Chain A
Amino acid sequence: MLKNYLKIALKGLMRHKYYTAISLFGIIVTLAVLTVSVAMMNHMSSMGESGSRLDRCMIVNRIEASFNRGNIISYPSYYILNQYVRNLKGPEAVSIFSEAHETVIYSENNRIPLKLKYTDNIFWDIVELPFLEGMSYKKEAIDRADMVAVITDRAKQQVFATKPGLGEYLETSKGTYRIIGIIPFREIKTMFLNADIYVPLTTSQGIMNNKKLWGAEQALVQAADKSQFASIKNEFQTHLDQLYKDHKDEYGLETFNCFMGNMNESIANEIHTPEIVYLIGVIGMMVLFMLLPAVNLTTINISRIMERFPEIGIRKAFGASSSTLMGQFIIENVILTLIGGLIAYLLSWNILILINDSGVVPWGYIELDTKVFFYSMIVTIFFGIFSGVLPSYRMSRLHPAEALKGVKR
């Protein structure tokens, strides 16, 4: 029976090329936008792949302070991260690194704008990035403020083209660095890790000498287990209380807060919304986004079924029951949406390649993973069933004689 359904469904779709094309277009555009959006959100909000060290990390990336003279919202400074985060006892490891700074490199009369990130040596232990060539800088290099750099293969290609980059010197607007390691750009899968050049924190006098509370740095706090996040946060709070006491009079501090949590919490914190409300909001938006084309598809399906009233009448007259025809229409829709989903996935994949290659989104490498594909397929099947049920139900209420006459009710 299922084979018959499939055969009839495919024939039906081929017969009604106009409706099939319109329905497919709606499904493909919706799912492609959705899939790309999910991939981008995943890229923005994820800490790291499940099971990785990054997955066991929290980020410290935002301070909010009110003074008697006003308020400030900023990244924290290296000074406070080093003084009040580095010495936490709960985490397995703490890494401090800067935001990505704009820098320019001139190569054979070409001006190449790149992003440079200052990091400590622990950064490389936590992010676990593979090296194509060379290695990362170690603690000694940090202590000596060695002018060494790790660059991405994409940056190497931009600056040196086919020449080997390892051991070469990179004249940046922040100083001249010797390249000691090359990492694959494609492996930088989260936004906050992204840069083209990574150099030791200690090579920036600006960062090291800044004794203010605010700066342009962040910290990664790696726990042995996610269950320890709460106790680390509690310990961090006692450090913040101490920070407040230490600097209250110096800055005229009235309140001081510093965020520690995962990326979803970070985004929720930034828009002053509880994480759960933020997540419900995101899911709600996605459901709404999916629902609108699903309603549209349902309308197209109703029109398609109306046009097929005589055929429905003939099939019913010759023994098709309503449930058989409902099954047929739903399978037609599921097949249609699966085809649409597959094309949308391939399209999304190509869109992300274009986005990544063009560099218009300077966030690192955005990729579709199996999880995104799995969700897309679930959404696709949901589309197929949802958009087929209502028209099929309406059709099932028809008497064959009415359907043969083309009566619409």
Chain B
Amino acid sequence: MINLNQVEKIYRTSSVETLALHNINIEVPEGSFLSIMGPSGSGKSTLLNIMGLIDAPTGGEVSIGGNNVVGMKEKEMAHLRNKTIGFVFQSFHLIPDLNVVDNVELPLIYRKMTAGERRRRALDALAKVGLSARTKHFPTQLSGGQCQRVAVARAIVGNPKIILADEPTGNLDSAMSNEIMEILLTLNKEEKVTIAIVTHNEEIADRTHRIIRLFDGSQVA
């Protein structure tokens, strides 16, 4: 589903070059659940961003569902992201001025779809994460766990084949973390969604199919 071949990422400023990723080769089969681990600054989030097409590698090849994305036009890439990938971020990244259901609808705004259909699908997604009673609330009126469930609903509303989650439980207590992991595991098991998560938590990583470990931008396991 996702193939990374000799991927490299260098961050350049006027005076410093930082090697964030070096010679990364990963194949993520369809329907698999992958976790990425490593100390802070090892390149985990950068790797996930490159897999999700929200950052560009400096070198190497990335393909999603058989489509090589290197050299792909920005508009095509946006379309591929919209259709194929859903994101969950550690700090939720909900739009604070939109209510829960409007936040969840966000990916569907960029598809040809009626407002009624968008609303129906957003409510379905919220039902899946157990938040049907909070559709009109704003993010500031929700707990951390509820915010992350909204973020998961937003990630799944467009029925993506891939979900990428950057430390989705990083800001949550263990009970809430467990709830979010259960949702992700169910999606993977029942809907065959390919999932990659970044985590520091060994227990969470142990529940996934495969663990990739990074150290100083290189893949060590």
Q: What is the interface of chain A, defined by CB distance below 8 A to chain B?
A: 1, 4, 8, 11, 15, 310-311, 313-324, 399-402, 404
Contact = CB atoms under 8 A, between A and B. Distances in A.
A234 B158 CA distance: 78
Given A317-B87, A318-B107, A399-B55, A310 B93 contact: yes
23 contacts: A4-B109, A314-B95, A316-B54, A317-B81, A317-B93, A318-B81, A318-B86, A318-B110, A318-B154, A319-B78, A319-B79, A319-B83, A319-B111, A321-B75, A321-B110, A322-B75, A322-B78, A399-B55, A399-B56, A400-B54, A400-B55, A401-B55, A404-B89
A318 B110 CA distance: 8
B54 A321 contact: no
Contacts of B109: 4, 8, 320
B52 interface: yes
B196 to A, nearest CB: 15
B17 interface: no
A10 to B, nearest CB: 12
Given A399-B56, A400-B54, A404-B54, A316 B78 contact: yes
B208 interface: no
Interface in B24-42: none
A319 B110 contact: yes
Contacts of B78: 316, 319-322, 324
Nearest to B154: A318
A19 to B, nearest CB: 13
Nearest to B157: A318
Given A318-B82, A319-B107, A401-B49, 5 more contacts: A11-B97, A15-B97, A316-B54, A321-B110, A404-B93
A406 to B, nearest CB: 11
Contacts of A319: 78-79, 81-83, 107, 110-111, 158
10 pairs of A and B residues whose beta carbons are closest in the complex = A319-B82, A321-B78, A400-B54, A401-B55, A15-B97, A318-B107, A319-B110, A401-B49, A321-B75, A401-B54
B93 A324 contact: no
Contacts of B81: 317-319
A167 to B, nearest CB: 70
A322 B77 CA distance: 11
Contacts, number: 66
Q: Which of B49, B55, B78, B79 has the most A CB atoms < 10 Å from its CB?
A: B78
Nearest to A314: B93
B95 A321 contact: no
Q: Which of A11, A310, A316, A402 has the most B CB atoms < 10 Å from its CB?
A: A316
Contacts of B75: 321-323
B87 A318 contact: yes
Interface residues of B, number: 28
A317 B52 contact: yes
Contacts of B107: 318-319
A14 B109 CA distance: 19
Contacts of B176: none
Contacts of A318: 81-82, 86-87, 106-107, 110, 154, 158
Contacts of B154: 318
B74 interface: yes
A311 B94 CA distance: 8
Given A15-B97, A316-B54, A401-B54, A322 B87 contact: no
B13 to A, nearest CB: 11
Contacts of B106: 314-315, 318
Nearest to A1: B112
Given A319-B79, A322-B74, A311 B55 contact: no
Q: Which of B54, B75, B81, B158 has the most A CB atoms < 10 Å from its CB?
A: B54
Interface in B71-111: 74-75, 78-79, 81-83, 86-87, 89, 93-95, 97-98, 106-107, 109-111
Contacts of A399: 54-56
B76 to A, nearest CB: 9
Interface in B134-193: 154, 158
Contacts of A4: 109
Contacts of B83: 319
A321 B53 CA distance: 12
B7 to A, nearest CB: 14
A317 B74 contact: no
A311 B112 CA distance: 21
A323 B76 CA distance: 12
